[in-house]
Amino acid sequence: MTTVTDDSSRRLASGLGFAVLSAASFGLSGGLARGLLDSGWSPGAVVLVRIGLAALVLAGPAALSLRGRWGALRRNAGLVVGYGLLAVGAAQFCYFSAVARMPVGPALLIEYTAPAAVVCWLWLRHGQRPGRLTAAGAALAALGLVLVLDLLTGTRLDTGGVLWALAAMVGAATYFVLSAREGTGLPPLALAGGGLLVAALALGLLGLAGVLPLSAGTAPALYDGRAVPWWVPLLGLGLVTAAVAYVAGIAAGRRLGSRLASFVALLEVVAGVAGAWLLLGELPRPVQLLGGVLVVAGVVVVKLGEPRTAPAALPQPSAAR
């Protein structure tokens, strides 16, 4: 009994660690991308390079993780394709399109209504009705996000940006649901690497066909008035905010389940605001710091509302995100 409890505690601790790492890494993407977008890069070009770099970095490790398990990749081909197109390619493109039209913070807030969508999906699709604590934690985290993003002062949002952010929310919800699937025999590295490769190929084909505008340049990117060579933010986007973030996110989802992992990932908003402060000079106000505390408190309450057997009780489809 003690061994089972210890294993569960270690699984929870490691899952939370991976989730925080993933959220912090993802949170930097908006601030880094803004410098490139303001220098003339199109959202499609930023996303394509970001995903392409991450796919290259993970290609070798992903292939090594599949040694003796290539059959798992064939069995889960549909999952890898869906993950790449929706959870990676569409989610990133829509988010960067939103960031090009509106501040990083509000775009993240809209995208991160995704946890509520995950709760609704699990309820409607799998009958996992949220309990009172889960609902209370969601409300607390939502209040914290409103404070973090300082929306109570009457921030005006661009309609097109809002629509792009809502589309990004669908991709983010897909990301959380697919990340939590286990029992498929597909290693997290293989899923992340395969999904990134699929997304890069799809976006590249759309660009070649002229459907996706791809504009790039070598002008320096500006961050809080400081010029940085264009390739520096691209490396950060590809290596940190994509390769590290996706692998850590999948590892977190498989340990925590999609519901809890999606709420812990709300910390990405806090990381996004902090990144915008450091990179773009957007200084958080005291009310935003209070909001960050409420987000963390909401995550804790959500965990308290999770069924004790939640990870085991989750459906185990034949594919993993």
- Do 99 and 33 form a contact (C-beta atoms < 8 A)? yes
Q: Give per-residue pLDDT as tens, 109-127.
A: 778 777 777 777 777 776 7
Q: Report whether 293 contacts 125 (CB < 8 A).
A: no
For residue 318, the 8-state DSSP code is S
Distance CA 201, CA 267 (A): 30
Mean pLDDT of 222-237: 90
Contact 172, 98 (CB under 8 A): no
Mean pLDDT of 266-288: 76
Instruction: Please compute the mean of the pLDDT values over residues 93-109 and round it to a whole number.
Output: 83
- Among the listed residues 43, 97, 98, 80, the one whose alpha carbon sits nearest the alpha carbon of residue 196: 80
**For the chain, what percentages of helix, strand and coil (3-state, to nearest 5) are there?**
75, 0, 20
CA 80 to chain centroid, in Å, comes to 16
Q: Does the structure show a pLDDT above 50 at 296?
A: yes
> How high is the mean pLDDT of the chain?
80
Contact 229, 217 (CB under 8 A): no
Dmax over CA atoms of the chain, in Å, equals: 61
Contact between 244 and 27 under an 8 Å Cβ cutoff? The reply is no
Instruction: List, in order, residues 6 or more apart from 65 with CB less than 8 Å away.
Output: 187, 188, 189, 190
H-run or E-run covering 22: helix 2-38
